[in-house]
Amino acid sequence: MLKLISLQGFLNLSADAVEKIETELEKAGLEQGNIGKYDDIDEFLDAVQIAVDEQHTIVAAAENEEYNIIKKQLMGKLGLESVSSPDVAEAIAKNASETAAGKVPDMENHCIVPADGEIYLTEDGLYSGFCVEFSNGAKIILVPLDITRLDVLLGYILEEVGVPAANEETPKETEEEAEPTDAGMKIIFSDSEEGDEEAVSEDEPSADEADGEEAVQDEDEEEAEPDVDLSDFEDTLTVAGKAVYSLIQLDKTVAFVSGGELNSYITAMGKKVEGMSDAIILCDESFENEESYEPQVVLAKKTRLALKNNEVDFAVAVSPVLEEEKDEKKTYFSYIVIHDGTSARAKRVSTTSEEGIKTLIPHAFTVMFETINAKTEDMEIEQRIQADTTADEEKKKKLMIIIGSVALAAIAIIAAVIMVWSYFGSSEPTTQPSQDVNGTLNIDMNNTTSDTTTTTAPTISIPQITLNSQGPAGPLTTDPGYSYPNEPTAGDITVQATNPAVPSQKGVFTFTVYGYGHGVGLSQEGANYYAGIGWNYLEILAMYYYGTSLVMGDVYPETVNFGGTTYTTRDYLAITVESEMGAKYEKEALKAQAVAAYTFAKYSNFTLATTAHAFDKTPSKEAYEAVDAVIGQYITYNGQVCQTFYHAMSAGKTTSFANAFAGGQVPYLSGGRPSYGDCTMEKYKTTVTLTSDELAALVYSKTNMQLTGDPATWLTIESHDGCIDQNTGYVSYIKVGTQKFTGNKFRLDVLGGAIRSHCFTFTYTPTA
């Protein structure tokens, strides 16, 4: 059975390519029930695996953005041996006109193919496909969803599934005289004076259109505004009216990015559709090296610039009519792109007849307005959800005020009891009230002094936080003259050791541990908490990286080397964000993580070891959205790129760089940053128990040190930062037998990660 499984990724620039494959595969008997379209990579990979197991013939396709990473993951999932193809490398080198083959971005991954597969070369070698047959009779064909490369690959696909491609005799070797597909592309309606004159002559503009071009070129002659013929725009105007009405009702505005001929159409339609000139504004955006990008990507970049430079809710664009010629057959097409600030979506409309050119632009504008309608419908739904959520939050706030009042009254009563108890001179020592993780007030009236090294389990004070009274300390600034304060370092508390009263030979060590990770810099759970109460990513970063500045618009490198493997910068960041956090985290938290990850990579000169951070998950749409929103932004202190450490969950406050790594103090990592949300997490406080025999064996296996004598003397906490209270904090130094370690080194190198954090205390209980 023939199946088509496609992954339409973040930019979603592939609707036309998917439609083209479907149309051609219908000749081989492809049924609608056997078409699977996915936007999640894991679901896509699972669907392919199932189809292979069920012995089907599968045409699998993915967009360029995800193609190389999908190729590697798919081969790994299916157990296919990978090799580097010299044929692909040669094809790329032959067509890499401006750079040597070794400098082509992601060159290594472009060349990876299955060892036993048949290679389907594209004309420029990039995003080449392959076909592999399995012993159970299944067959998989992988191709990119790239309309400019798909024509070459369709011949291979149809031949493989048993349908000869009409009028195509494409050999399976790269032809010596082959030219890149883009070489056959021409602009019919040009946005500048540098248009292709020969192409324009194939469909001469009317006198009115020519007058319109002159009017656009002469900004001083407003009376020369063109009288654009809208006779073919009847359906377009109907859809436009609905779109404009929706925009006005939602108080939204749209930027239209194009220029020249197409702007005149928008202006003319604005005279017929009431309110359009207010709801849709004209923008003219450009960037360097536009000619080196594919048309749909150019529009995606321009719409993003329009969003950045104008106060609009989203941006749209329509390309001029383009022409491409393949095997003496011409296709005329136009792209439509919409960008909402986090992602760009594109569609393509096309015709193969010159007569169809006349209606192509009206059709493209119709699709554009339909896309705007779909977007406004989504916005209306989001507003309703937000309204419901706001109402719920107001109810919760009122409830919290009542609870807070009751709690304050309880505190006052308990404080009065303590004062009375103290005044009348109780012979037993007392402690002050404290608040534990669950918010329960505890008073220990029977605390006794111990002669052993054991300590009572500490309680945690969790201050309440509101946006009105307590926000982040000094948001990141882009002011180069910003005065950088040095936050006081969380000072260490020295612990006085006591000798055990009763010697023992065996016993049990119970470690009480708070948080997860080294505790330096950004807490991921804390960031998620702050995002959940309305903070944006800049406020989150300002909280955890004290006194830093944000640099925007960095010209980032195309690739990052992680563990000896090259990834595109976008893929590297998306994998990192997914592996460190994941799609379930708040959007602003993901963006903060993306900035921290990019800054850390930049600090490391974009070459990192595999031990630098987690890197083992397939990126979700949410991860790519977060990355695309902030890519190129990084953090500095006094003009220097920061070393942006991050961790899973703090112990309620962060600790200092000096505490965790025994190095010099780093001003923006000096610890003590509040991270209240961490204390509410399920595994914020954990307990680990090791017998003395287990501890001795673990220490010996990691350090070759033999622990002898009374186990009660084996471990001594010498100092900590008091993160929890006077008895407990992130351990600065701990003595193990005769050697001294930092708390973080003890956690990782001595205990092998048996405890989740170096914010801990322990008790020892003799058993023999």
d(Cα 46, Cα 44) in Å, to the nearest integer? 6
Confidence class for position 475, pLDDT limits 50, 70, 90: very low
Confidence class for position 551, pLDDT limits 50, 70, 90: confident
State yes or no: pLDDT of 655 exceeds 90. yes
Structure tokens at 641: 């790129």
pLDDT of residue 615: 93
DSSP code of residue 536: -
State yes or no: pLDDT of 744 exceeds 70. yes
Least trusted range by pLDDT, from 134-138, 385-389, 413-417 = 413-417
Residue that wins the pLDDT comparison between 354 and 649: 649
- Asked whether the beta carbons of 225 and 253 are under 8 A apart, the reply is no
- CA neighbours within 13 Å on the CB side: how many for 252? 23
Which of 250-254, 445-449, 466-470 reaches the highest mean pLDDT? 250-254
pLDDT in tens, 624-652: 999 999 999 999 988 899 999 999 999 99
- Asked whether the beta carbons of 759 and 745 are under 8 A apart, the reply is no
Confidence class for position 274, pLDDT limits 50, 70, 90: confident
pLDDT of residue 327: 67
For 436, residues 6+ apart whose C-beta sits below 8 A from its C-beta are: 442, 459, 460
Q: What are the C-alpha distances in Å from 233 to residues 237, 238, 334, 364?
A: 6, 9, 16, 10
For 397, residues 6+ apart whose C-beta sits below 8 A from its C-beta are: none
State yes or no: pLDDT of 724 exceeds 80. yes
State yes or no: pLDDT of 232 exceeds 90. no
State yes or no: pLDDT of 464 exceeds 50. no
pLDDT of residue 611: 87
d(Cα 303, Cα 337) in Å, to the nearest integer? 8
- Asked whether the beta carbons of 474 and 547 are under 8 A apart, the reply is yes
- In the chain, the amino acid numbered 673 is R
Confidence class for position 490, pLDDT limits 50, 70, 90: very low
State yes or no: pLDDT of 277 exceeds 50. yes
Q: 3 has which bridge partners?
A: 58
State yes or no: pLDDT of 322 exceeds 80. yes
Look over the chain and give the mean of its residue pLDDT values, rounded to a whole number: 75
- Percent helix / strand / coil, the chain, rounded to 5: 40, 20, 40
Q: 114 has which bridge partners?
A: 82
d(Cα 739, Cα 745) in Å, to the nearest integer? 12
CA dihedral (752, 754, 758, 764) in degrees, to 10, reads -120
pLDDT in tens, 559-615: 999 999 999 999 999 999 999 999 999 999 999 999 999 999 999 999 999 889 999
- In the chain, the amino acid numbered 319 is S
pLDDT of residue 216: 40
pLDDT of residue 157: 83
Domain edges within the chain: 2-179, 185-381, 493-516+682-766, 522-644
pLDDT in tens, 369-390: 888 887 777 676 666 555 655 5
Q: How many CB atoms lie within 10 A of CB 430?
A: 14
Residue that wins the pLDDT comparison between 396 and 302: 302
Least trusted range by pLDDT, from 247-251, 421-425, 461-465, 709-713 = 461-465
Average the pLDDT over 161-178 and give the result.
Answer: 43
Q: What are the C-alpha distances in Å from 565 to residues 73, 83, 92, 517, 608?
A: 14, 14, 19, 26, 10
Fold that domain 2-179 belongs to in CATH: Molybdenum Cofactor Biosythetic Enzyme; Chain A (3.40.980)
Least trusted range by pLDDT, from 77-86, 201-210, 552-561, 633-642 = 201-210
State yes or no: pLDDT of 21 exceeds 80. yes
What CATH number belongs to 185-381? 3.90.950.20
State yes or no: pLDDT of 465 exceeds 50. no
For 339, residues 6+ apart whose C-beta sits below 8 A from its C-beta are: 300, 303, 304, 306, 307, 314, 315, 316, 345
Which of 79-88, 321-330, 734-743 reaches the highest mean pLDDT? 734-743
Confidence class for position 342, pLDDT limits 50, 70, 90: low
Structure tokens at 378: 């989504």
Average the pLDDT over 464-476 and give the result.
Answer: 35
Which of 148, 140, 501, 500 minimizes the C-alpha distance to 295? 148
Helices (H), 507-619: 524-532, 537-544, 569-580, 587-603
Which of 322, 313, 279, 318 minimizes the C-alpha distance to 300? 318
pLDDT of residue 380: 67
pLDDT of residue 452: 28
Residue that wins the pLDDT comparison between 502 and 358: 358
